[in-house]
Amino acid sequence: MQPVDAPVRPVPRPDAAVPAVEVTGLRRRYGAFEAVRGISFAVQPGEVFALLGVNGAGKTSALEVLEGLARPDGGTVRILGADPHLERAAVRPHLGVLLQSSGLPGDLSVRETVSTWQRTLTDPRPVDEALGQVGLTDRADVRVRSLSGGERRRLDLALALLGRPRVLVLDEPTTGLDPESRRAVWGLVHEMVDGGTAVVLTTHHLEEAEELADRIAVLRAGLIELSGTPAEIAGTQPSTIRFSLPADAPALPALPGADVVAPGPSVDVHTRALQADLTTLLTWAADHDVELGGLQARAASLEQAFLAVADGTPVPTR
Amino acid sequence: MSAAITAAHAPVDAGPSRVSRTLALAGAELRLFLRNRTAVVNSVLLPLLLVAAVPALGIGEEVGPVGPQLVVTAIGVMLVFLTYYNLLTTFVARREEQILQRMRTGELTGLEVVLGIAAPTLLVTAGQIAVVALGVAVIGEWSAPVDVVLPVVALLCGAALMLMLAAASTAFTRTSESAQITALPLLVISSSLCGLFFPLSLMPEALATAARYLPLTPVVELSRLGLSGRTWDGDVVDLAGAWSAAPLPLAVLAGWLVVGAVLARRGFRWAPRR
């Protein structure tokens, strides 16, 4: 963290025994519909945990309990060891929340908005520091009504960071931001994490999850379908070798365990043994003097894994 | 409380008090109100028109100064048409703009958010009643009140009740425009049966008795007892008489405050319906 961000209050040593966020068997129900059907995860100080999932997967419903805005219908949530709803007063000074969408009065200026919020917090940053953090210093005297969508989102973020939170909950932090602002937000999250803050975020942008998250959980219909590091999650899907064959090519070599899809001259090989199968293919091509046109070989991306789960394709286990 | 938070919390100075948090929000809300020229002009104009209407209509010339009755009217009218209606539309507008939900993500408690947002309306209510009182004094229609405690209690409890009923009414008010409909029960029924616009004593006895249990009626009764020294059925009373007529309206008002608090807690909604 930058020196300017150094907290005034003594930051307690992260307590290894108590995770910053601990969710156990969380359920949420709206009438007969169960939006969250028993999910569990824990986030340590200095760690970023991303919840992925299509709209309606239950991400926001789960976060609302972490934020203390809703009671769970089952299971427990602990923020720094305390219940965010029942022990609100203890949790709130340490919790920063960015809602997926929320409003601000349009007729206050940016500075007035931040300083009003600041006066309600236990240990706030100075207003100028908060504005500088999100690049709104030049817009301080502009009415909120006149801000662009991206500027408004950055103001939201400034308010979420204003109380120097030890736990930060970000519901789609960069939706609607241009690529440059998005990178700036990523930088801020990295800074907070370096200072020991635990972050739980949701996002639709898989590259955002890859960039920020130490661990990811993919949520589908209220259940965690898949969780792990971005690399582990991507690894649940096979790698792909793609090339095209000349018409007179001899039969391909045997690739045990691989799934060869060859509708015409172009061939897709889905394999969990990328290096071995690629070696077999290249050796075969060299031996038979065959040119593999447009040869590509790549490991599965997080996006592939995400789409597989979001589509409901069963996830193969290794 | 967990060891983790206690340990973290111990070295930290206590944050701003509940009062200063509420004042921070109230200050911002007041600034917003002052930036709304239409609202400011309306709230100054309304009480002045009420006072100006007295000589124009030539009322009250036969029964002595009409001032106290006009202040009673101001209390009743302002509480319903300004405090209740304005608060209802403000709460609903802030909810639909998703401002309420955001306020709840910070350290402010729900009660602090509600009071902070209500502050400008409550101040304007007090200001308007003061303007009417001042106005009648200026046009020479003032007379000393029989008792000041009863009207002050009526005004404070009445304002609190209107705040609670407005909070409760957000449960069935989807937009600030639909408040024009959902506010009607209180705006029309309760205010027409509170004894301001026509005397309860002229109503059939059963209706008059029922009317005395409506939320606004005890506020008007208590204000009138103190300011004009008249009971609900028109008897002229002194200080002792005013107090001996007060227990029923006081009890009704207290009852409504309890009902209002329960309804507000159960009915107030923080987020738009999805």
For residue B151, tell me if it sits in a domain.
yes
> Of the candidates A113, A121, A123, which has its C-beta nearest B106's C-beta?
A121
Q: What is the structure's pLDDT at A191?
A: 94
Q: Cβ–Cβ of A119/B97 closer than 8 Å?
A: no
Chain B residues in contact with A88 by the CB 8 A cut-off are: 109
Say how far apart CA B71 and CA B77 lie, in whole Å.
10
Say how far apart CA B130 and CA B152 lie, in whole Å.
12
Q: Is the pLDDT of residue A109 over 60?
A: yes
Say how far apart CA B165 and CA B80 lie, in whole Å.
10
- Among chain B residues, the shortest Cα distance to A114 is held by B28
Average pLDDT, integer, range A5-22: 60
Residue whose C-alpha is closest to residue A31's, from A61, A59, A54, A67: A61
Q: Cβ–Cβ of B4/A91 closer than 8 Å?
A: no
Say how far apart CA B11 and CA B189 lie, in whole Å.
56
Average pLDDT, integer, range A259-266: 86
Q: What is the mean pLDDT of chain A?
A: 89
Could you tell me where the DSSP H helices lie in A99-258?
110-118, 127-133, 149-161, 179-194, 206-212, 230-234
> Of the candidates A78, A101, A120, which has its C-beta nearest B106's C-beta?
A120
pTM beyond 0.90: the answer is: no
Residue whose C-alpha is closest to residue A237's, from A311, A312, A299, A310: A299
Q: Is the pLDDT of residue A13 over 80?
A: no
Chain B residues in contact with A87 by the CB 8 A cut-off are: 1-2, 5
pLDDT tens digits, one per residue of A31-84: 999 999 999 999 999 999 999 988 889 999 999 999 999 999 999 999 999 999
Q: Cβ–Cβ of A92/B104 closer than 8 Å?
A: no
What percentage of chain A reaches a pLDDT higher than 70?
Answer: 92
Domain that holds residue B35: 17-267
Q: What is the structure's pLDDT at B33?
A: 94
Higher pLDDT, B9 or A236: A236
Say how many domains are in chain B. Answer: 1
Chain A residues in contact with B109 by the CB 8 A cut-off are: 88-89
Q: How far is A162 from chain B (nearest CA, A)?
A: 10
Residues of chain B short of pLDDT 70, as ranges, are 1-13, 54-64, 274
Chain A residues in contact with B25 by the CB 8 A cut-off are: 116, 120
pLDDT tens digits, one per residue of A218-234: 999 999 999 999 988 88
What percentage of chain A reaches a pLDDT higher than 90?
Answer: 70
Q: What is the structure's pLDDT at B7?
A: 46
pLDDT tens digits, one per residue of A184-214: 999 999 999 999 999 999 998 888 998 999 9
> Of the candidates B7, B13, B107, which has its C-beta nearest A12's C-beta?
B7
For residue B272, tell me if it sits in a domain.
no
Chain A residues in contact with B24 by the CB 8 A cut-off are: 116, 119-120
Chain B residues in contact with A31 by the CB 8 A cut-off are: none
Q: Domain A18-233, what architecture?
A: 3-Layer(aba) Sandwich (3.40)
Q: Is the pLDDT of residue A9 over 60?
A: no
Q: What is the structure's pLDDT at B20?
A: 94
For residue B11, tell me if it sits in a domain.
no
For residue B10, tell me if it sits in a domain.
no
Q: Cβ–Cβ of B97/A112 closer than 8 Å?
A: no
For residue B1, tell me if it sits in a domain.
no
3-state secondary structure of A130: helix
